[in-house]
Every structure is written in structure tokens, then in C-alpha cells.
Amino acid sequence: MNKYTGGHPLFYEMLEAERKLHSEKNSDYAKGGNPLGNFNRVAAIMSNYPKLKLDSPTVIAIVYAMKQLDAALWMLSEGYEGKVENIDARLQDVHVYMKLARILETERKCKQTTEETKIALKIMQQGGINAT
């Protein structure tokens, strides 16, 4: 029976599931330390790159990898395995995010090269040079 007087009962079931997940994941990220320590550690690393473009998908993939790397390092530092994801799972995530970062960067460069080629061809055509 719903102990709350308002709202949908499923809403409160979802809240309870999220509370449990947060508790388990936070134990992975912060065991023995600040519950928000993972954010502070990654923020400290990111502060070294003040000109970093945070709207870059490549950068975001690397940040996600850094988040997983931080979790693995914290677990190693504190001498425990995670409840939700262990050290090996975190390191596998790092591999995945870094491959995705490489793909995103390759696609960005290909798009940039294509755009630069189009601009060069247009300039050449405007100058009366037939590039075909």
C-alpha cells in the first residue's frame, strides 16, 4: 500500500529503485570518501584544460572514459571491487569510450576535409580554373 497520500504508486516504486541504485553506485564511486568525490576529482583534472571545447563529441567521449578511469583508480586506491561494476568492467568501458573518441575524431576530420575541399573547388571555379 502506498504510504504517500498523493501521486502515482509506480512513481514511488521508481524512486525506491533509484535510491537503491544511487546507493550502490555511490558506494562504487566514493567508498571511504566524499560521496561527490568522483565529480571533484574529474573536475580537478578538467581544470587543466581551460580552452577545451565541451561541445565536442570527441571531448565528451574522452570525459566519459576519464570518469570510468577515475572510478577504477579509486577502487584500486581504496582496495575494493565495485558492487555495480568492478574494476575490469570500468577498464573495458575506458577502451570502448576511447575507440568511440577515435571514431568521432576521424569523422570530424573527414567532414572538415570534405568541407575544405568543397571550399577550395568553389574558389578554383570562381577563378576560372577547371578542377575536374
Q: Is the pLDDT score of 99 beyond 90?
A: yes
The per-residue pLDDT for 86 is: 94
Question: What's the angle, vertex CA 89, arms to CA 88 and CA 91, rounded to 5?
Answer: 65
Look at residue 1 and tell me whether its pLDDT is greater than 60.
no
Q: Does the pTM of the predicted model rise above 0.75?
A: no
Residues 108/58, Cβ–Cβ less than 8 Å: yes
Q: Which range is least confidently modeled, 8-17, 67-76, 111-120?
A: 111-120
Residue 106 pLDDT: 93
Long-range Cβ contacts of 80-86 (<8 Å, 24+ apart): 80/31, 82/27, 82/28, 83/24, 83/25, 83/27, 83/28, 84/21, 84/24, 84/25, 84/28, 85/28
Instruction: Give the pLDDT band (50/70/90) at residue 52.
Output: very high
